[in-house]
Amino acid sequence: MSGNKQSQKTTRERAAQARAKAEAEARRRDNRNRALGAVIVVVLIGLIFGGVWFAKRDGGSSSAVGPNPDAALPAGVSGPTYGVPFGTGTDAVPQLQLWEDFQCPACKQLEDANGSGITKLAEEGKIRLLWRPTTFLDQNLNNDASARAAAAWGCAIDAGKAHEYHTTVFANQPAQEGTGYTDAQLLQFGKDSGITGDAYTTFEKCVADNTYAGWVANSYQQFQDDAVPGTPAGFLVMGDRKQEVPTATLADQSKLEQAIQDFAAGS
């Protein structure tokens, strides 16, 4: 009888040992799985953030190019405004400074409504037009199309096609905001603007080299420093006087001419 009890005890002990061993193995297996899962999560997070960084780098974000006082400037452009002068006006007439972003739908609307009227005033010497490029929409739209378009415009300015290229870019602004401009489009705009022969070869290299990225960054920095609230934004400047011009006035030729006359008269 005692032998049978001893045998039962031994069986129970072995069963208990087996259960303990199985439970220990299960715990080790769970620990390995948790550790492996943590490693996988870390790797995935790294891949996600690495992919985001690569996408931004590969997209050529304008934030990669910062302001540079020694940056190359297109013909006729100088600091501290970094604006593009146009027209025949002298210091005796008001300057119209016009901030624009090539991806800005409201800027295109202004260009469509009265771009030709504004340039006509500049050509007639009634104002000194100063186009001032900015690229704040690159940050809002997560691309660098404004910066690349403005830099390509700088190349067109060197080719003597400031007005033509400016008009062409806005005329071809994508209907869907954020689509941006491809490099191929920016080069085609040069041809559409009338840049040909050796001048086009120079233009093409200038665009490919992103020669005027620093100029664009300088202008954008000035846009921020001046706390310009958005685009389009127009200002009449004469001596120490400066007056903002409402967009509705900029878009209406008769109202704009009256505003210029009143400002020149000091009223």
Same domain, 42 and 100: no
- The reply to whether omega before 80 is within 30° of 0 (cis) is yes
Query: How far is residue 192 CA from its own chain's centroid?
Result: 23
Q: pLDDT tier at 12 (50, 70, 90 boundaries)?
A: low
As a whole number, mean pLDDT of residues 234-261 equals 98
- Same domain for 47 and 94, yes or no, is no
Structure confidence by residue, pLDDT tens digits, 154-200: 999 999 999 999 999 999 999 999 999 999 999 999 999 999 999 99
Looking up residue 150, the CATH number of its domain turns out to be: 3.40.30.10
Number of domains the chain is built from: 2
Backbone angles phi, psi at 178, to 5 degrees: 105, -15
Structure tokens at 157: 């300015």
Answer yes or no: do 125 and 189 share one domain.
yes
Task: Kindly state whether residues 44 and 89 are assigned to the same domain.
Answer: no
Question: Is residue 24 domain-shared with residue 106, that is, in the same domain?
Answer: no
Rounded to 10 degrees, what is the CA torsion of 68, 71, 76, 80?
10
- 24-77 pLDDT per residue, tens: 555 665 555 554 444 333 333 333 333 322 233 233 333 457 889 899 999 999
Domain that holds residue 161: 62-264
CA distance 246 to 39: 58
User: Domain check: are 132 and 68 in the same one?
Assistant: yes
Domain co-membership, 51 together with 66: no
Rounded distance, CA 139 to CA 103, Å?
11
For tokens 């299960």, name the residue: 26
Q: Where are the beta strands (DSSP E) in the chain?
A: 84-86, 95-100, 128-133, 233-238, 241-245
Pair (154, 106) in one structural domain:
yes
pLDDT beyond 60 at 245: yes
Rounded to 5°, angle at Cα 56 from 54 and 58: 65
Do 248 and 206 sit in the same domain of this protein? Answer: yes
Write out pLDDT tens, residues 99-145: 999 999 999 999 999 999 999 999 999 999 999 999 999 999 999 99
Beta strands in 32-150 (DSSP E): 84-86, 95-100, 128-133
Whether 52 and 164 share a structural domain: no
- Give the torsion through C-alpha atoms of 118, 122, 128, 133, to 10 deg: 50
What is the pLDDT at residue 34? 56
Terminal CA-CA length for the chain: 123
Mean pLDDT of 211-217: 98
Letter for the amino acid at 192? D
Same domain, 230 and 257: yes
